Structure 1
């Protein structure tokens, strides 16, 4: 599949898992937890949780400002519900191998199970051994509020695993999209913040729009770029990006271009197929590389990004 590349849119320690890891996070960060005021009232889904772990190989040197990163977006297709691509966890093993190979600083996951996030968090800690690594997981539910369970027994959802030298603050939120396709799972944005004492951090959202209806997927994308990303970033000038399976193409009716045509600020977008990233000012998007993975029908997408130091406007 050809990449649509870069498009500028003028738009006005020891292993810990689950809630135990959250306790470690609280001990590490304590009262330093911080979030922009505009994001503090985010409608979090029940079961949304996050945590952080200290560097495996801490350095005595002062942490440098993050200037460049690789964002790896993967749709694991590991719930067991989609028989066309479910392969009993093979996609998780393939993703772990890819993470070891390309060493991303940010990993966004769709159709992941909570156990998958645990496993890939540990891999991310090892490839980013000198930095603190944060994780955020949002379970996805049906319209009746019941969480979707994976075939392996864990919760099903989307996740962000992000790293940052000198991390002193972190937070995360879940936003369920207003427009949903009939009979579909409740699609959402799982958003994360990692920051340093001198505000040299960033925000990341992992998103997956519906594949049942392109118009609804476009409406979900519009809510993301016109509302959710602004709410998450609030008054902060730290840059924000969203990566995921948007389930719409770059151009045409009901597309990324349609999604972003009425947005008030400047955004940059890049992607391939149905996997895209949208970034605010303060982030420059570069090369997009796709990787075929065993156990999932959606190729993984690796996005090279630069933090230009100018911040979000």
Structure 2
């Protein structure tokens, strides 16, 4: 009888063991919306399309390149409650590059409030090419996930790779998990090879062209999806889904 009672109690305790915490799914959306008004890829319709894509995919992390400062608010409204960092590309004298509408031109990173920390970091790369646009980066480190965005040199592959390595060196030191997204102007198995920028403890997922998302190894890769932007810009959307925790 005692044996039966002990066995019954043991089985009951096993049944009462708490289930493992479910992983949190995180969607990271990378967009290059070509919205400066200067480049030939400008259509004036990319922000509206971006809003539609954000609304339908519901990302927790958003990276946007070639944007104007006025694009932040409509994109934030599509994201919902989110922390935002915008960084303007710079001229050699440090003044901001401007869109043709007079707004500052640069990059946006957003993280939903439930995952975001309270810190913002931005900067200008040490390595630059011979153009008059100085490339920059923006990050939202801390919180439950750290996230960065950038748009690297289009004129020099070696400069783009140096910039990529500089940003990833910063990202390695941020609170994990961490994602870095952007138009890197580097290709997988290209010359130079974007994979040479991938540090230990991270992996990379690219769109088959120049947009890439680097993720720390504690984020489990689920899927990558290219999104048709309907001719509103010259880049597809690139959505990477990972599991956190």
TM-score interval (norm. to shorter): 0.7 to 0.9
| 1:221 paired residue among 146, 160, 164 | 164
Which residues of 2 match residues 240-259 of structure 1 at below 5 A?
Answer: 240-259=178-197
1:207 aligned partner: 150
Matched pairs, number: 223
Structure of greater Rg:
2
2:79 aligned partner: 124
Higher relative contact order, chain-length normalized (CA < 8 Å, sep 6+)? 1
Q: Distance in 2 between matches of 1:122 and 1:266?
A: 34
Q: Distance in 2 between matches of 1:190 and 1:146?
A: 17
2:16 aligned partner: none
Q: For 1:170, what is the secondary structure of its paired residue? A: coil
Q: CA deviation at 1:113?
A: 0.6
Q: Distance in 2 between matches of 1:166 and 1:218?
A: 29
2:97 aligned partner: 148
2:129 aligned partner: 181
* C-alpha distance 285-158 of structure 1, shift in aligned 2 (>3 A): same
1:21 aligned partner: none
How far does the alpha carbon of each residue in 1:156-207 deviate from its partner, in whole angstroms, 9 at most, with x for none? 111111114276x411111211111112411122100352xxxxx1100011
1:36 aligned partner: none
Which residues of 2 match residues 24-103 of structure 1 at below 5 A?
Answer: 67-82=24-39, 84-88=40-44, 90-103=45-58
1:302 aligned partner: 239
* C-alpha distance 122-254 of structure 1, shift in aligned 2 (>3 A): same
Q: For 1:73, what is the secondary structure of its paired residue? A: strand
* C-alpha distance 295-218 of structure 1, shift in aligned 2 (>3 A): same
Provide TM-score, normalisation by structure 1.
0.67
1:3 aligned partner: none
Matched-pair contact (CA < 8 Å) for 1:175–1:228: no
1:114 paired to 2:32: no
Q: Distance in 2 between matches of 1:65 and 1:192?
A: 25
Matched-pair contact (CA < 8 Å) for 2:153–2:160: yes
Q: For 2:120, what is the secondary structure of its paired residue? A: strand
* C-alpha distance 65-192 of structure 1, shift in aligned 2 (>3 A): farther
Structure 1: 5+ residue runs without aligned partners? Answer: 1-63, 126-131, 196-200
* C-alpha distance 166-93 of structure 1, shift in aligned 2 (>3 A): closer
Matched-pair contact (CA < 8 Å) for 2:32–2:65: yes
2:204 aligned partner: 269
Matched-pair contact (CA < 8 Å) for 1:194–1:202: yes
Provide TM-score, normalisation by structure 2.
0.85
